[in-house]
Amino acid sequence: MFKKVLIANRGEIALRVIRACRELGIATVAVHSTADSNALHVKFADESVCIGPPPAKQSYLHIPAIISAAEVTGAEAVHPGYGFLSENAEFAEMCERCKLRFIGPTPALMRLMGGKISARAAMVRAGVPILPGTGLLETDDQALTAVEEIGLPVIIKASAGGGGRGMKIVKDRSRLLPALEMARAEALAGFGNSDVYLERYVEAPRHIEVQIVADGKGGVAALGERECSIQRRHQKLLEEAPSVGLTDAEREKLLALCEKAIRDINYSNVGTLEFLYEPGHFYFMEMNTRIQVEHTVTEMVTGLDLVREQIKLAWGDPLSKSFQPGRFRPRGHAIECRVNAEDPVSFAPSPGRITALNLPGGFGVRVDTHIYEGYVVPPNYDSLLAKLIVHAEDRDAAIRRMRRALSEFVVEGVKTNLPFHRKLMDHPDFIAGRLDTHFLERFTPSA
């Protein structure tokens, strides 16, 4: 096993990786910007290296600084976490050139599944349904012709992107070309790549994703689905497993389809296949070739440590026996609330010093966080403060447990979206499982 791993990330995911490494007897190296000098991942790692000033481009996205930190500390491998460089094939290649093991899939697989157009083509070859759409749009005429064939509404998407950037919904043909121009500009600014494509737009789908793990040697496990329909501007706020919207037969079919697809592309390490679902139909959207923020809900309903498995697979171990019992069956129900430093109404970021903190606990409650009383939330990064996860015997019990845990969660000094989550737990449509990706657009807090 590796003797030392560098974690090319920050916040709660850096701590999550440190804990997994410690249980495997692996020393850890934390990298940090000057804004994160007092962060918990810096305090808890065995070593730490400052790699630059607060802007991410000069620190957490600065590949030469991260590679140098790994070399001077004698790290053998790099865990990228999520976000930042986690799906950057060039970074993975640079790690390989410098004889550092990248804890993730190969650069070739990252390119195949990271490009939305190439990923769609790979899934078609594997027999996975996709929405009617196009390849790369090189001219306006191609877009106009495609709309005639697909029909309206359509959605324009950035080939290299995600998180809603470079994404435009078009319901009127006269708005197609202006929307196309805006999408290309946003894609170029956000990802350095202006390539876009079209898909048929599904009006009220569920967002369902499947956690997969594979060793590249024939060992593949699809560990069930997560429901991620509660989102704002394509940013997830709550996830749960399993989805209340699927029948057992649909679940069986989806997981079998995902396992076949992963074998067909000979994938290795962890990943997530994301789908839009409307009654009776799944449509592949994209694949994330990394650990997800919401991997925790899958861990809670399987009892399996996904981050530890990532590290073991990167070392070259075959898929652990505990991941190979056959078709996944969820054990109870898990819900995750993302607790962000933001205004609960406007969702505007709220950096600053945390003056008081109480974390919930008790049976079936897990909190993954990097915050502490006195911690200063910097304005430079994602606003995620903590992930509150509960597990119970069924969904109703999980909702009750989440209500209780949210009532115990206290953060003072910065605004958070805790009030939003408390109201959500009492919303009749959420309780009934009547969910789709536009839920928040019609969200009205219950009395």
Helix (H) / strand (E) containing 312: helix 306-315
Counting Cα atoms < 13 Å in the Cβ hemisphere of 106 gives 11
Yes or no: say if 337 and 308 are a contact pair by the CB < 8 Å rule: no
Conformation bin of residue 239: beta by default, left when phi > 0, alpha when psi is -120 to 50: beta
Taking CB atoms within 8 Å and a gap of at least 24, the contacts of 429-435 are 430/230, 431/399, 433/244, 433/245, 433/395, 435/206, 435/227, 435/229, 435/230, 435/244, 435/245
Considering only CA atoms, which of 363, 342, 362, 364 is closest in space to residue 351? 342
206 part of the active site: no
Instruction: Say if residues 41 and 10 touch (Cβ distance below 8 Å).
Output: yes
Q: How far apart are CA 218 and CA 165, in angstroms?
A: 35
- Pairing assessment for the beta strands 333-340 and 384-392 based on DSSP bridges: antiparallel
Could you tell me if 102 and 92 are in contact, meaning their C-beta atoms sit under 8 angstroms apart?
A: yes
Active-site position among 290, 338, 366, 395: 290
Relative to beta strand 168-170, strand 154-158 is: antiparallel
Distance (Å, rounded) from C-alpha 362 to C-alpha 128? 41
Residues near 288 by beta carbon (within 8 Å), at least 6 away in sequence: 87, 271, 272, 274
How far apart are alpha carbons 195 and 299 in whole angstroms?
A: 36
DSSP 221: E
The residues assigned a catalytic role are: 290
